[in-house]
Structure 1
Amino acid sequence: MNPSLFRHGINLWPPFLFAGIHLRELSRDYRYARVELRMRPWNRNYVGTHFGGSLFAMTDPFWMLLAMHSLGRDYIVWDKAGSIEFVKPGRGTVHADFRLEESMLEELRQAAANGDKVLRWFETDVVDSGGDVVARVRKQLYVRLKPRHRSAAD
Structure 2
Amino acid sequence: MFAGAIAGSLGGVLFLVVGRFLPARIWLRGLVFAGVCYVLATPGFRPARPLVFALFGPPFVAYALALATADEYLVRGRRSSIPSGPESWATRLTRWRFNFFPAYRGTGARITYIRHDWSEVHIRLPLSWRTRNYVGTIFGGSMYGAVDPVYMVMLIKLLGPGYAVWDKAAAVRFRRPGRSTLQAVFAIDAGTVAAIRDELARVPAVARDHRQDGVHRPARAERLTVLRA
TM-score by length of 1: 0.86
Equivalent residue number for residue 210 of structure 2: 122
Match for residue 164 of structure 2?
Answer: 76
Partner of 2:134: 46
Conserved? CA contact 2:99–2:105, under 8 Å: yes
1:24-35 correspondence to structure 2 within 5 Å: 24-35=112-123
> Quick check: 1:115–1:144 contact (8 Å CA) kept in 2?
no
Matched residue SS, 1:64: helix
**For the residues of structure 2 that align with 1:53 and 1:103, how far apart are their CA atoms?**
32
Match in the other structure for 2:92: 4
The structure whose RCO (Cα within 8 Å, separation 6+) is larger is 1
Matched residue, 1:108: 196
* CA contact 2:211–2:221 (8 Å) conserved in 1: yes
Which is further off, 38-47 or 4-13?
A: 38-47
Is the Cα contact below 8 Å between 2:175 and 2:216 reproduced in 1? yes
Residue in structure 1 matched with residue 32 of structure 2 by the alignment: none
1:14 CA displacement: 1.7
Equivalent pairs, count = 141
Residue 144 in structure 1 maps to residue 144 in structure 2: no
- Structure 1 residue 18: Cα displacement: 3.5
Instruction: Give the number of the structure whose residues are more often helix, by fraction.
Output: 2
Task: Please give the alpha-carbon distance, in whole angstroms, between the structure 1 residues aligned to 2:99 and 2:164.
Answer: 24
Q: Which ranges in structure 1 are unaligned for 5 or more consecutive residues?
A: 147-154
Question: 1:115–1:145: 8 Å Cα contact kept in structure 2?
Answer: no
Aligned to 1:63: 151
Please say which of residues 47-56 and 107-116 is displaced more in the overlay.
107-116
Measure how far apart 1:3 and its partner are. Answer: 0.9
Greater fraction strand: 1
Kindly report structure 1 stretches of 4+ aligned residues shifted beyond 2 Å: 15-19
1:31-58 CA distance string (max 9 Å, x none) = 1000011112121111111111110111
Taking only aligned residues, the RMSD between alpha carbons, in angstroms, comes to 1.5
User: Where in structure 2 are there 5+ consecutive unaligned residues?
Assistant: 1-88
Identical pairs, percent? 30
After TM superposition, give the deviation of residue 114 of structure 1 in Å. Answer: 2.8
Deviations 1:61-98 (A, max 9, x none): 11001100000011111111111011000122101110
Tell me the CA shift for residue 103 of structure 1: 1.3
With 14-23 and 77-86 compared, the bigger mean Cα shift is at 14-23
Bigger radius of gyration? 2
CA drift of 1:115 comes to 4.3
Amino acid at match of 1:145: R
Q: CA deviation at 1:110?
A: 1.5
